[in-house]
Amino acid sequence: MESKESVMPYPYKMTDEDTANLIKLRASNEALFTGKRNASKLAWRAVIRELGLQGKVTSSQASKKWENLKKKYKELKYPPGGVAAGGGDVNAASWHWFYLMNEAMEGRLSTSAPVLTATSYGEDEPDSPSRSQSRKRRKEVEKNEILEFLTSKAERDESVEIDVKEGEGLEMYGEREEAESERTVLETDRVGMQRVGLERELAAMDRDRAALEREKAGMDHDRASVERDRALLEKDRASMERERAALDRHWALLEKERAVLERERAALARDKDAIRNGTVNVKSDTPAIELDAEALERRERFLCLFEKLIEKL
């Protein structure tokens, strides 16, 4: 029984457009590569069907193409010298597929291509139980058929030298196991990228916490400044109250002096009237004296000056 994906006599060389579409489809349909038995093979068949390369490229060849691209990307992304790609690495910048692979490996091409369903292709269904039981025997038969085909092709084409090794047939059909191990590596890489993302989020949270602490310290400083300003305001208010009390006392003293002045002015008016009517004795706290017009005039000028002084105060 011949396998559906037997080795093709003339392998198809994928174009740049085919390679770019393969990378995008592989990145957009990560969910199909679950690691279960035949899942990778079915997923690659769905990708090949979407690319329109059925009959030209096998699922093993497509898987090998992807693994070679990923291996080349990792070698340039993480070189042995420890210098990251993009930091002056000429090889990474010059490789045609580096930046597209970088987008795919970092999860930024998840929506760049249609989402496929491997089970929608009837010819790609998993093997039946009877075929599973005879899997080992069939591998041996297919290995012998491949060796015979390669030997006959070498005899027909003398210009092509094919070194047929005993392990080549096993290697071709051992790609499924290699795909499984590479899937494990891919899962490890994904976990690593998720861990890096979490570490970045933690670092961002630490920066935000530090910013909040600085804002809190600034608020405490502003609160202390407000408390100081309030204390100064209370001090100024107390000083104003003291000055107001002193002003009230001064005002009361001024009123008292004004009342004395009014009494003196009334006494002066009485003395003037007494002079007009004749010389009389004026009752006061001092002994009685005889008043004349010149003395009254001097007294009136003194009272005027005293009144002006009180008004200025």
Q: What is the pLDDT along the chain (313 residues), one digit of tens a residue?
A: 444 454 455 678 899 999 999 999 999 998 888 888 888 899 999 999 999 998 999 999 999 999 999 999 998 888 876 555 554 444 677 898 999 999 999 988 888 888 888 664 444 434 434 444 556 666 666 677 777 777 766 666 554 344 434 444 444 545 566 667 677 777 887 888 888 888 989 999 999 999 999 999 999 999 998 999 999 999 999 989 999 999 888 888 888 888 888 888 888 888 778 777 865 454 445 444 455 677 778 888 888 888 888 877 7
Which of 83, 110, 126 corresponds to the end of one domain? 126
Nearest one of 256, 253, 295, 259 to 274, comparing CA atoms: 295
Are 76 and 98 in contact by the 8 Å Cβ rule? The answer is yes
Residue 160 covered by a domain: no
Which of 95, 126, 157 corresponds to the end of one domain? 126
Question: Token digits for 91?
Answer: 């090889």
10 and 115 in a common domain: yes
| Residues 6+ positions from 83 with CB-CB distance below 8 Å | 89
Number of domains present in the structure of the chain: 2
Residue 135 covered by a domain: no
Neighbours of 244 (CB within 10 A): 10
Residue 276's Cβ-count burial label (10 Å; 0-12, 13-18, 19+) is: exposed
3-state secondary structure of 128: coil
Residue 157 covered by a domain: no
10 and 121 in a common domain: yes
Residue 300 covered by a domain: yes
Are 107 and 26 in contact by the 8 Å Cβ rule? The answer is no
**Which residue range is the domain that position 222 belongs to?**
209-312
Residue 156 covered by a domain: no
Residue 69's Cβ-count burial label (10 Å; 0-12, 13-18, 19+) is: buried
Which of 72, 99, 126 corresponds to the end of one domain? 126
122 and 1 in a common domain: yes
219 and 121 in a common domain: no
